[in-house]
Structure 1
Amino acid sequence: MKLVLTIIVFLFSFHVVSQEKVSVNYNDISLSDVFIDLENRFNVKFSFNSDLVINQFVTFQSEDVTLEDILIAIETQINIKFRKESDRYYTVKRLPKTDLTSTQLLQEIVINEYITSGINKVSDDASISVSPKELGILPGLTEPDVLQSIQLLPGVQSPTETASGVYIRGGTPDQNLVLWDGIKMYHSGHFFGTISAFNPYITEDIRLYKNGTRAKYGNRISGVIDISSDNKLPQKLQGGLGFNMTHMDAFVKAPISESTAIIVSARRSINDIYNSETFKNLSKRVFQDTKISEGNKVFEDDQVTTTKDLFYFTDFTVKAIVKPNENNEITVSTLFTKNKLDYGFLIEEYDEASQDKLDISNHGTSLKWKHIYNPKLSHAVSGYFSSFDLGYVGSNSITDEFNDELAKENGIDDLGVSYDLNWAVKEKSSIGFGYQFSSSRVKYLLSFEDSESPEDNFSETNIDTNNNHAIYADYQYKVKDKWFFNLGLRSSYFSVLDRFFIEPRFQLETKLNSNFKFKASAERLHQAVSQVVEFNTKDFGLENQIWALSDGNLIPVLKSTQLTTGFVFNKDGWNIDIEGFYKNIKGLTSFTLGFNNEDDFFSKGKSTVLGLELLVKKRIENYRTWLSYALIDNDFKFSNINNGEAFPGNADITHQVTWSHTYEWQNFNVSLGWNWRTGIPYTMATGIMDTPDGSVIVFDDTNGARLPDYHRLDISTTYKFNISNNERWKGKLGLSILNLYNQKNILSRTYEKRQSTMDNGEVLREINKISLGITPNLVFRVEF
């Protein structure tokens, strides 16, 4: 395998270094003249609107540069984007004006390629922009999965090996603010997180904030993932459909009039039609060591028969766009996602039947009106409604003996409105003001009915509402190509606690010279709704967390303080980005985290995260390679756990390295990526001890041991082709292989007591959850 990788890298390097290089000396040269010069030098053609080159000039001097290096340099100076249609032809388009209410800047913002095409670092902003339409091929992905794409960035991890299990700088997934067209999302995955719940083919932009978040974002303490669907009016009917080995999808973009359009999309799993090898592998990974895979066995040799096996997921979206004139835009967006599981089994020897039903849905609607008064003043008015519902019923019975039933319900109804005003005071200064109101109604129900022992029956329910009022302001000062300063302040009132919280935000970026940039940021964040671990459905093994509001006692408000500083270096196609950060989180409890040691049932604590992120990227013509490294030291400290001493956090991945390669040749794309990281901590069990209340598992120090290191190699390739002579109909074929050398990584380790068949006693069983094995996937798409 090492020999194969060496040959691949050598062939890539041999080809790319043979690409033509030239020396250029453009000193305030008009863009039209630059295009003519490049067409003559490289035998290429640029297609563009003549208005695009008016009053546009380029200054760039360098020796031994490729065409791609020159185009990148032009993109950094002029607000345009190049798209390679073939080896010879390029189209050039002006970048759309940035959403003023998203950035609170009236100037257009140029974005630069960060690691590969479609993943860009936003100038004068701490965010990273991902455009699925422009996204280059990524290791292991033949389709631009919205959440998996950002996991290649340093500081973004998924210890659970899922799409929706995004841990940003030590924060848990529920601490991330996930928005889709302004709708708060409380469940962002399909098939228990293995696939993101957002259709990439109607997604226009994904903004990821790891730090330096704008004051408009609130009520989460970790990262922000702001997803925007397509916002452009199509000039003609457009659409596409396709399938892979897990699901199929289709979308249509239809103009209704010159000022109105509608966009519709839908996806659904295909496992009930065709149970592919891909879906089998995902099922094996998801259901291992759960009630479904184990069949509720009492003894290891129990024979279990499946009586019902139903699972599917689906999502669909509808969006209406109205642009009556250049100064007004109205959009209405709707999203619906659903996951349904119905599984039953029978142990014939005991006539014991069991059934598990799980329904998870998340839907929402948003309305937004943007109005531009003049080039210096604009506002946006928006509103949204989001609803999350989870329902689980598990039953277990033996005819004429007992019938037990466990139920769980969890739901959130979230309604919000906001107003943003943006004013460019001067050429270099701008101010943004805003007000937000949201009302979150959170409910949960846990109940158990025991037909043999009614005294053990219980029912616990809670319904509470938090009304959140927030006002915020940002002041920004920008000197082009020199430095950028942002100072923000957000004040929030949480009715559930009857308290105000103040959140200052600060960001600074400055160019030290033509190649170096210095950056720093600081912020304080609060969160009043989070997920807590409940142990009643522990035997089910899936979705054992519920959303709950802070009560100031058992579930405190989460508070985070983060400081970040770093440098960026750019020269001759090399990009080096390094950031160090410190994060302090307070308000953690064992309810919100859960620990294997059940004796530590409730405890309050905090976490301290120290981290370093490094990204090194090199681009040579159509070849890109990038190496990312993250060092994260995430320590927990709880009052009555581990004798009050600090210990590693549950998802403490100390070191993580990702090395990726992509290469484009005509209509072929190939990508290879290797991922290595240290194993996460776990609490080791040492045996079983008898007590007056029964036997218990004896544990060692909390998170005192570590799993073996994790490593995996992924590869993917795609081929794009024209179906029709006029190039209106286009197709794509793709193949990806996850975990190419079938590494058996351990994702988690827990323990349970199991009845022994030898002496009717109990034995300690070690449960290792194994990562996804070698998993191929195919994709076929047609678009017009």
Structure 2
Amino acid sequence: MLKTHREFFNLFLSLFFILGTFFCVAQEKQDTYIPLLSYLSELESRFTIKFSYVDKDLEAIRVIAPNSKDLTAILKDLEVQSQVIIQQLNERYFTVTMTTITVCGTVLNYLENGLEGADITILEENIATITTSDGSFFIENIGPKAILKIKYLGFKPYFIAADQLTSTSPCKKIWLSPIYQELDEVIVYDFLTTGLKKQQDESILLRTANFGILPGLIEPDVLQTIQALPGIKSIDETVSDINVRGGTNDQNLILWDGIKMYQSGHFFGLISAFNPYLTDKVTIIKNGTSAAYGDGVSSVIQMVSKNTLSDTLFGSAGMNFISADVFGQIPITNKVGFQFSGRRSITDFVNTPTYERFFDRAFQDSELMDQNTNDVIDQKEDFYFYDFTGKLLYDINEQQKLRFSFISINNVLDYQEENSTTSETTKSTLEQTNLSIGANLESQWNADFLTRVNIYYTRYNLDSDNKVSNSVQELSQRNQVLETAVQLNSSYTFSSLLNWENGYQFSEVGITNFTNVTQPPFRSNTKGVIRTHALFSELNYSSYNKKLWMRAGIRANYIENIDTFRKVVIEPRVNMAYTLLEAVKVSFQGEFKSQTTNQVTDLKQNFLGIEKRRWVLADENTLPITQSKQASIGISYDKNKLYVGLEGFYKFVKGISTLTQGFQNEDQFNGELGQYTVNGLEFLINQKTRTLSNWFTYTYNNNRYRFNSLTPSNFPNNLDITHTLTLASTYTYQNLKLGVGLNYRSGRPYTKPQEGSAAVNTNTFPFVINYQNTNSSRLPDYLRADVSLLYDFKITKRIKATMGASVLNVFDQKNILNTYYRLNDANEIETIENLSLGITPQISFRAFF
């Protein structure tokens, strides 16, 4: 319902209770246009009737209020003004539907040849088709105000109103303009620390076995390590909320042994859930993604565990102030081996300084820490996490290799609270799990032809329960994701210069969101399933002199939500590199990508206020398929142990909702649809010697939203960090490694309430906060210094060991990560500040055998 109508209705309701003797609305004659939806609501109150309609069909229609007191005359007048059909079902109920039209057209290129297979989409509706062999199309029963989007590979998208294509003979001709693109090049380097390499396609490769040291890190935590790279940060200091070039965490495709992961963190995001010592390599792709990858409009983070057999047993065990873990590989036969890893927190056995800092950081905004009462409260919390993995390696023969992988991740919290004054007890439980299994078969049929088959199943659950003993109220919530997928890849090598890859991928994703409240009674159980069929093909080319490298491909997705829509999404990809001079290379990457799963953010302190994000599916109504376009161009120099890289990028993402972006003002629950645009610059300079590595990184982002239904419609993104700088050094002397670093970034945007008495709107029930313009304020700048130290030594000839110590936020800087506002029981505004980790020590010991 429109805001203007709500204000009118509240005023009318107040008069009703004051007068108490009659029910009427006085309407003055006016010649100004008013929203049709608002006027229909007025008619419902005046004549005690009910209209049934689809909000989005009528929300843009405005009419002049008819000058009549007769309902029949009023409805006929509205039909004439707005081109709607109003039909009476019975004495009280009416339906309001849009007048529909039939459209047709012929899509042509500049030579007037028909374009077969052009994608015709009706925006804001679940209607799509493709053109026939002569380029023509024909669509029935669409609204006259609908907008058609016409797409064809290699041509610019074309938009046209439906009322310009009304069915006539001959149909209207539509000429598409071709797209002209200039492509450029790429590079490969060791930089920052050992084990980090920049590859030819501009992706970053992390080899955990060769990993050195980074400031604040004494273990190669995968998702913490990648945040040392330009353009990759976590706005809230977690590994479960990684922002790549201004995108949200759910826009990252995280793969473990080819399996899509829906949970990535322990301790509610403060620790990576993946064992870094069993992980062999990690690839991070920000742009120019291979056509073999779907999902992840912001990035791909691909982790691969050790994949080769060993004829000897090897492994490692270690402990730090948070957890203990073990991993190993056991040779069973000369063709079969088994890998395993396990990790469990020690936090339910002993409290360490690290645990206390992590606990305060994770739970600072939950009911565990929200004790605004003078009563005596006894609290007891039991928190722990664990993960374990297994992998069976079977070399069938020299040409075929079969692998089975398994991973389980679990976070458990039990919280009990007893009020000694009132004898009231509360019990809350929260469990977050991810269970995945997969199989991979690689076959080398001959020297030139290779195939891979990858199959997996993954299940994610987020379950919470809250029970109060002296009341009938119970709250239960569930979020479950089930995904099954199969991918077939083939690779054919024509020569040392040219390779051709093709493939097919099928995935089925089902998501359930369940909520049950006993007082007041409320129950919701939503389920959805999306199936995606994708075909992809790409060529890899390298020139004879190795100066030019290029990868170009295309991915075609057929996406089907079994309840709401079917859609074809075409995604071209390109990645190029060219060596200008001996030490100078330039690169260009471009891609179209899409994804059908997103995380909505629940900010009503559900899930104990800790894990507020729930996975949901696109339905093309309340939440469309998220689609992105990205292009970047870079230049780099590497000579005499000096690396300098500069890259500019542009990214456009549409199909986002205020529910998925973490708004914390009046827009957070509206579900408005919009888009964001990011343009930025990433700079890195790294000077290396045999023992010393110094680097400086700088990232500039201009990240802005556009939501046409909000006012203002254009404003800074919630993740708009304009400036980010890192200054760091690592030093190695024999068995000793030392890392120090300083991280700075400008403050994130947030929204303040209005000043004075205007801050609270008392004309609504419940009262709400009146805010200033969205994201019109900025938090203070963020500054943190970290240090780390590692020492390697031998226990025996076969057993090596490492001891490490680190301190995060050495100077105990008070950094505000987020600020938002809420009303307390007295309807007074409370300011909530989420603070970063304070000074946080960590000590570890690890033995390798």
TM-score exceeds 0.5:
yes
1:389 and 2:465 aligned: no
Q: 2:279 matched to which residue of 1? A: 203
Q: Which is greater in Rg?
A: 2
Divergent runs of 4+, >6 A: none
1:50 is matched with none
Task: Tell me the SS of whatever aligns to 1:192.
Answer: helix
2:195 matched residue in structure 1:
118
Q: Distance in 1 between matches of 2:326 and 2:457?
A: 25
Please state whether the residue corresponding to 1:117 is helix, strand or coil.
Answer: coil
TM-superposed CA distance for 1:329, in Å, is 1.2
Q: Secondary structure at the match of 2:358?
A: helix
Find out whether 1:625 has 2:694 as its counterpart.
Answer: yes
The change in CA–CA distance for 1:539 and 1:702 in structure 2 (over 3 A counts) is: farther
Contact 1:439-1:467 within 8 A present in 2 as well: yes
Structure 2 residue aligned with 1:754: 824
Query: What is the match of residue 374 of structure 1?
Result: 446
Q: Distance in 1 between matches of 2:223 and 2:725?
A: 19
Describe how 1:656-671 pairs up with structure 2 within 5 A. 656-671=724-739
Give CA deviations for 1:518-548 in whole Å, capped at 9, x if unaligned. Answer: 1011110111111112355448312122111
Cα distance in 1, alignment partners of residues 671 and 437 from structure 2: 38
- C-alpha deviation, 1:286, in angstroms: 0.7
> Which residue in the other structure is 1:453 paired with?
none
Q: Does 1:744 align with 2:814?
A: yes
What's the secondary structure of 1:294's corresponding residue?
A: coil
Q: Which residue pairs with 1:501 in the alignment? A: 569
2:578 to 497, 505, 510: 510
Question: What is the identity, as a one-letter code, of the residue corresponding to 1:740?
Answer: V
Q: Secondary structure at the match of 1:685?
A: coil
Normalising by structure 2, we get a TM-score of: 0.76
List aligned pairs for 1:703-722, cutoff 5 A. Answer: 703-722=775-794
How far the C-alpha of 1:111 sits from its partner, in A, is 5.2
Give 3-state SS (helix, strand or coil) of 1:279's partner: helix
SS of 2:828's partner is strand
Distance in 2, matches of 1:408 and 1:713, equals 39
Q: Which runs of 5+ in 1 are unaligned?
A: 1-108, 451-455, 756-760
CA distance in 1, matches of 2:283, 2:667: 41
Aligned to 2:146: none
2:383 pairs with 1:311? yes
Confirm or deny: 8 A CA contact 1:533 1:592 kept in the other structure: yes
SS at match of 1:220: coil
Aligned to 1:567: 635
Matched, 1:483 2:518: no
1:749-771 residue CA offsets vs partner (Å, 9 max, x unmatched): 0112224xxxxx43221111110
Deviation of the 1:353 alpha carbon: 2.2
Shift of 1:403: 2.5
User: What residue is the counterpart of 1:348 in the other structure?
Assistant: 420
1:269 and 2:345 are equivalent in the alignment? yes
| Residue of structure 1 aligned with 2:614, choices 534, 543, 546 | 546
Where does 1:246-265 land on structure 2 (aligned, <5 Å)? 246-265=322-341
Preserved contact between residue 269 and residue 313 of structure 1 (Cα < 8 Å): yes
Given that 2:823 and 2:830 are in contact with CA atoms closer than 8 Å, whether structure 1 keeps it comes out as yes
Q: How much is the aligned-residue C-alpha RMSD, in angstroms? A: 1.5
Q: Give the aligned partner of residue 53 of structure 1.
A: none
- 1:599 and 1:673, CA in 2 relative to 1: closer, same or farther beyond 3 A? closer
Structure 2 residue aligned with 1:141, among 217, 220, 226?
A: 217
In 1, Cα distance between the equivalents of 2:844 and 2:554?
46
User: For the residues of structure 1 that align with 2:314 and 2:766, how far apart are their CA atoms?
Assistant: 66
Shift of 1:460: 1.0
Q: What amino acid sits opposite 2:541 in the alignment?
A: Y
Runs (5+) with no aligned partner, structure 2: 1-185
Distance in 1 between the 2:753 and 2:428 partners?
A: 29
How far has the Cα of 1:348 moved from its partner?
Answer: 2.4
Please state whether the residue corresponding to 2:660 is helix, strand or coil. Answer: helix
Residue-by-residue CA offset, 1:470-529 (whole Å, 9 max, x unaligned): 010011110253011111100011111211110000111100010111101111011111
Question: Within 1, Cα distance between the matches of 2:534 and 2:589?
Answer: 22
Q: Secondary structure at the match of 2:361?
A: helix
Question: CA deviation digits over 1:75-96, x for unaligned, max 9?
Answer: xxxxxxxxxxxxxxxxxxxxxx
Instruction: Write the distance in 2 (CA, Å) between the matches of 1:163 and 1:442.
Output: 23
Partner of 2:760: 688
| Secondary structure of residue in 1 paired with 2:724 | strand
Deviates most, 686-695 or 668-677 = 686-695
Moved more, 467-476 or 323-332: 323-332
User: Aligned partners of 1:163 and 1:728: how far apart in 2?
Assistant: 34
- CA distance in 1 between counterparts of 2:663 and 2:622 reads 16
Counterpart AA for 1:663 = Y
The count of aligned residue pairs is 655
Q: Secondary structure at the match of 1:699?
A: coil
- Partner Cα separation in structure 1 for residue 747 and residue 398 of structure 2: 53
Residue matched to 1:465: 529
TM-score, normalisation: structure 1:
0.82
Is contact 2:187–2:577 with CA below 8 Å preserved after alignment?
Answer: no
User: 1:763-774 to 2 correspondence within 5 Å?
Assistant: 763-774=828-839
Is residue 840 of structure 2 the alignment partner of residue 775 of structure 1? Answer: yes
How is 1:586-597 mapped onto 2 (pairs within 5 angstroms)?
A: 586-597=654-665
Displacement of 1:369: 0.9
Answer whether contact 2:464 2:607 (CA < 8 A) is retained.
no
Q: Return the alpha-carbon distance in structure 2 between the equivalents of residues 750 and 704 of structure 1.
A: 13
Instruction: Report if aligned partners of 1:641, 1:702 keep a CA contact under 8 Å in 2.
Output: no
Q: Pick from 419, 424, 429 the counterpart of residue 498 of structure 2.
A: 429
Q: Does the aligned pair in 2 maintain the 1:267–1:315 contact within 8 Å?
A: yes
Q: Distance in 2 between matches of 1:533 and 1:731?
A: 43
The letter for the 2-side match of 1:489 is: I
Please name the residue that 2:25 is paired with.
Answer: none
Deviation, structure 1 residue 414: 0.6
Separation in 2 of the partners of 1:766 and 1:365? 44
How do 1:149-168 and structure 2 match up within 5 A?
149-168=225-244
Q: Pick closer, same or farther for the CA change 1:424–1:689 going to 2, 3 Å.
A: same
Once the two structures are overlaid, the 10-residue window that deviates more, 514-523 or 695-704, is 695-704
Aligned-residue offset at 1:659: 1.1
Residue 676 of structure 2 corresponds to 607
Question: Hey, what's the Cα distance between the residues in 2 that align with 1:690 and 1:173?
Answer: 37
1:282 to 2:358 alignment:
yes
Percent identity of the aligned residues?
Answer: 35
Alignment partners' CA distance in 1, 2:828 and 2:422: 22
